[in-house]
Amino acid sequence: MLAHEAKARRRMENPTDHIPRPEPGMLLHTIRIENHVSGLGFEVKLFQGHRLNQVVAETFGRRSSPHGIDWLTRHLRQRLVTRWAHS
């Protein structure tokens, strides 16, 4: 019981900085994907979803349904191949 009171007292003495929740639809990040061999490239814009752990991806003017960031990275990894240029 005393330990809980001590922890509560420490929390009240040193409050953490309040980080505001991102609004749904807010632009979070832009990923630029380029193919240096053919010279083509495109951007994937990531927007905040309705839930805190969801993002909506937009590319070529089309938006995806809300997905988790883990799903998005796994999905991109399956479709994008990285090759190291040997010179």
Tell me the pTM: 0.67
**Which DSSP state fits 84?**
P
Query: Total structural domains in the chain?
Result: 1
Is residue 62 assigned to a domain? Answer: yes
Which domain, by its residues, includes 36?
20-79
Residue pLDDT, tens place only, 63-77: 999 999 898 888 888
What confidence score (pLDDT) does residue 82 get? 64
- Hey, which bits of 12-86 come out as E strands? 27-35, 40-48, 54-59, 62-63, 67-68
Residue pLDDT, tens place only, 41-62: 889 999 999 999 999 999 999 9
Cα-based distances in Å from 17 to 3, 11, 25: 24, 12, 24
